[in-house]
Every structure is written in C-alpha cells, then in structure tokens.
C-alpha cells in the first residue's frame, strides 16, 4: 500500500467527487452535490479530518471524517469501483484513519450507505463497522395537505433555555426508554453530548425546541432546526415518554411542527426515521410525508 497522507484543505474539492460518488451507479458526484456538501460543512461548526493514499490528483484511497458536536463522527469513503480506487488500499486507509481518530475520545462513528452498495458494505464491515439501521428520509410540503394546528388548550409548550435545560435533558432521556428509533445507540453518549449534537444539526434556534406539557406533565419533546437557508425545518428529534405513548401525542407533535413551519415561512418539513419503526413510519405516511431517500446506517465503536 502507498503511504498514508493527510488530506489538505486545498485538496478537498478535488476529493469530494470521489467521496460523494455513487456506489450503485458508479458515477462521481456532480458539482451541485459538491457545492451542497461544502455548504453543509460551512453551515455549522463542523470540523473534519481526512487521509488519502496516492497522489492528490489520482488517489487510490480516501477517507473523510466529519467531526460532529457531541463527540461523534460521520465517516465518508469512496465506493470500490470508482475511478482509481483500490479496495485493499481503501480498507487500509479506513483502518488507519479509525486508529488515528481514537485519540479524539469519540463515542462512535457512523457511515451512511446507499442500499445496494455491497462492495462498500463489505469493506466497512471488514474494518469493524456493524449494521445499525435502515434509515428513511421523508419530507412534505408545509401547507399541503393541510393539517390543523394544535388548539390552545391541547398542550402547554415549554421553550428551551438555560432554566429549562434540565427538564429537556430529563424528558429526552425518558423518551429513549424502549424507543424503536435506533435503540442500539441508546446509552452510548451522556445526555449533555446528545443535546450538543442536536443543537449542531442545523441553524439552532432555541424557540424551535419545545416540551409538550399535558395535564401538568412533560409528555414529549419536539426539536426542530433550520436547514437550506431557512426554507426547510427539520425534525432533529421528537419523542414521547413511555407513560404518554399510544395516546395521540405523536400526531400532536407533527401538527405543532407544521404550525412552526408556517409561522416561519418554511416551505418543507423533513424527518429521518428508522425504517424498522413501523408505527412511526405509518404516522408520517398519514401526515402526507413521502420518501426522499434511503440509507443504511453502520456504526463503529472504539471500545
């Protein structure tokens, strides 16, 4: 294998068409995809590290680690079969890159693959990644089909601030109990890191983080963030505490999310759901969400 070299900032634009290329079609990412990813990196407080084998102009292997708040990372590698990529070199870069990232004391790393990316999946499993969940990316128009907002007497909405931080931490922790959304990640991070990660998921606005208080009890949480120059609101996380499940609270949260979209002139609402969570998927379908993309998530833990 050629020696491992650090991927320099000046080399990133040259590397991104390979890193973001499709394992299924074998095509490099187009300039629009590269620009969108660059905007994603610039939008938040994201850092990154990268490595390559071979010359910067003709790498035989690449790895990009996007470092996230909350001490996790998203790993991006090119698919075997893309121009110049050598599978054995790619495996070596992945293993060595993960070894170097160990020094950052991260909780875990994730990879998101296109369904059907068999060669990439095999390489990452060989490097120590394990299947996490199939993820479905959903979206819907903020106006149509129309959904009535919650009435004033349906819930009290408690906003996030320094005084309510402990309440949010407690409620979010409670919603993880017996959750069907990526339960394998439950307990892998302290709640403070979970909150930091959610805040860094887009343009954080504390007015878009709310607890739903029902009959005097904190029953659920709804965490929204702004994306795509504020034209999209994304459901970063929503959850219901066990005592309030199967009582229509999920529907209440989605009605509130759409109300927030309209109040802020956002055109779309987006969400990601664990495809194994059939009740949640059915709820989103009833609310007019349609599938925008599908990815298979894999996780790596240093411990």
- 96-143 pLDDT, tens digit each: 999 999 999 999 999 999 999 999 999 999 999 999 999 999 999 999
What pLDDT does residue 1 have? 55
Confidence label for 54 from pLDDT (cuts 50, 70 and 90): very high
What pLDDT does residue 44 have? 63
Q: Are the folds of 4-128 and 139-294 the same? A: yes
- Residue 19 confidence (pLDDT) above 80: yes
Task: Locate the domains of the chain by residue range.
Answer: 4-128, 139-294
Residues 227/233, Cβ–Cβ less than 8 Å: yes
Residues 294/134, Cβ–Cβ less than 8 Å: yes
**Mapping DSSP to helix (H, G, I), strand (E, B) and coil, where does residue 237 land?**
strand
Instruction: Work out the angle between the directed axes of helices 12-19 and 31-43 (0-180°, nearest 10).
Output: 110
Lowest mean pLDDT among 73-77, 199-203, 238-242: 199-203
Confidence label for 41 from pLDDT (cuts 50, 70 and 90): confident
Structure tokens at 92: 């070596």
CATH code: domain 4-128 is 3.40.630.30
**47 C-beta neighbours (distance < 10 Å), count:** 12
pLDDT tens string 231-278: 999 999 999 999 999 999 999 999 999 999 999 999 999 999 999 999
| Full-model pTM | 0.94
- Residue 303 confidence (pLDDT) above 80: no
CATH code: domain 139-294 is 3.40.630.30
């Amino acid at each position: 294998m050629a020696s491992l070299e650090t991927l320099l900032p000046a080399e990133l634009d040259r590397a991104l068409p390979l890193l973001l290329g499709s394992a299924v079609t074998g095509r490099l990412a187009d300039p629009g995809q590269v620009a969108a990813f660059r905007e994603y990196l610039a939008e938040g407080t994201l850092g990154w590290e990268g490595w390559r084998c071979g010359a910067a102009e003709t790498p035989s292997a690449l790895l990009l680690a996007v470092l996230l708040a909350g001490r996790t990372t998203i790993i991006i590698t090119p698919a075997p079969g893309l121009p110049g990529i050598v599978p054995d070199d790619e495996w070596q870069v992945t293993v060595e890159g993960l070894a170097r990232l160990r020094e950052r004391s991260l909780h875990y790393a994730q990879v998101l693959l296109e369904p059907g990316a068999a060669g990439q999946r095999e390489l990452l499993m060989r490097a120590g990644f394990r299947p996490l969940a199939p993820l479905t990316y959903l979206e819907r128009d903020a106006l149509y089909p129309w959904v009535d907002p919650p009435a004033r007497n349906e819930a009290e909405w408690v906003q996030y601030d320094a005084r309510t931080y402990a309440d949010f931490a407690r409620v979010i922790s409670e919603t993880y109990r017996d959750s069907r959304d990526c339960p394998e990640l439950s307990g892998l991070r302290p709640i403070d890191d979970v909150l930091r990660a959610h805040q860094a998921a887009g343009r954080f606005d504390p007015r878009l983080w709310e607890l739903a208080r029902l009959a005097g009890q904190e029953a659920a949480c709804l965490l929204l963030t702004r994306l795509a120059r504020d034209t999209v609101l994304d459901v970063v996380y929503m959850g219901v505490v066990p005592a309030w499940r199967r009582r229509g609270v999920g529907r209440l949260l989605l009605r509130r999310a759409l109300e927030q979209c309209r109040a802020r002139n956002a055109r779309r609402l987006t969400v990601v759901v664990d495809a194994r969570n059939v009740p949640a998927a059915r709820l989103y379908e009833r609310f007019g969400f349609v599938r925008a993309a599908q990815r298979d998530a894999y996780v790596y833990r240093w411990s």
